Amino acid sequence: MAESFDVLTPLVTPFDADGNLDVAGLESLIRHVVAAGVDGIVPCGTTGEFETLSPREYRTVVRTATETAPDDCRVMVGTAATNVPTVHDRMAFAAEQGADSTLVVPSYYGGQASGAGNEGFFDAVLADAPLPVYLYNIPGAVGQDLSVETVATLAQSDAVAGLKDSSGDLPYATAVMNQTPGDFSVYQGHDGLFVPSLVLGGDGGVSALSHLLFDDLERAGTAVASGDVEQARAVQRDILSPLSEACAEFGFAPTVKALLADRGIIDHATVRPPRDSLSPDAVESVTGML
């Protein structure tokens, strides 16, 4: 079982009612999660709708995150792109702004890449990387798994710090833990598997629910670390898993934004296409869970 754990927030990107970037709302959101106690923030990830941001908006989000987060809050910047030069440009900008690390997915267009193809992509990405790199396995969005074998190979690089796994596949995460060095961090990206992952030796979570439920995540993680499996199981079963299932059904960004707007933490639950805002009935359902 994990003796210590981290919880990082994959930040949603607030938009106003017209869909414009809400910089003040982003600053306020960062202060909210930092005050709750999260160990780090992850701007421009999947929950942050990074693929809908213009280049200027992307830079604004990264700059806002690094300038607003205090020194003791890590900033892991999503630098995903389908081509290596863009990944490098985003890494360089993140480093210039004072980020601590970057998060990179496999190239997400072009079908199922071979293991050698994915290794070649990441080898090129890692060349002269200015920050530690976390690999990101999210097959539901990318269209393919980043294989355990590829992760194990890439984990030998000094530039690679760990993995965020959002596959929802616990045996996959377990195999990665078993085949990578002890200092290779494995973060669970699926809130429904937060406790099981910690029990098996995971290092924490990049948790969308930490926007609102950091105290519960901390309680569950502390229970795991102290061997109180019954308490950890209760938090997972009664709190984290039901809301995780709702996020999976309605979409993580739309659901989290609906919850944040309901609590007055952001002004609007606006998302950008192709995501769609929750219906009034769905909003009532998910807010009722809290």
Tell me whether residue 136 is one of the annotated catalytic residues: yes
Average pLDDT of every residue of the chain: 96
- The pLDDT tens digits for 139-192 are 999 888 899 999 999 999 999 999 999 999 999 999 999 999 999 999 999 999
40-41 and 185-188: which strand pairing? unpaired
pLDDT at position 111 is 67
- Flag whether pLDDT at 112 surpasses 70: no
Q: Mean pLDDT, to the nearest integer, of 44-52?
A: 98
DSSP state, residue 240 = I
- Flag whether pLDDT at 2 surpasses 90: no
Q: Give the chain's domains with CATH numbers.
A: 6-289 (3.20.20.70)
Rounded Cα–Cα distance for residues 124 and 289 (Å): 44
| Residue whose entry in the numeric block shows the structure tokens 């690999």 | 135
**Which is catalytic among the residues 164, 172, 187, 257?**
164
Nearest to 5 by CA among 192, 190, 205: 205
Helix (H, G, I), strand (E, B) or coil at 64: helix
pLDDT at position 132 is 98
pLDDT at position 108 is 87
Q: What is the pTM of this model?
A: 0.96
Tell me whether residue 187 is one of the annotated catalytic residues: no
- Flag whether pLDDT at 113 surpasses 90: no
pLDDT at position 117 is 85
Rounded Cα–Cα distance for residues 262 and 134 (Å): 32
pLDDT at position 1 is 60
Interacting residues of 28 by C-beta distance below 8 A, sequence separation 6+: 265, 266
**Which is catalytic among the residues 58, 109, 134, 136?**
136
Beta strands in the chain (DSSP E): 6-9, 40-41, 74-78, 101-104, 133-137, 160-165, 185-188, 204-206
Q: Mean pLDDT, to the nearest integer, of 118-141?
A: 95
pLDDT at position 133 is 98
pLDDT at position 289 is 87
- Flag whether pLDDT at 290 surpasses 90: no
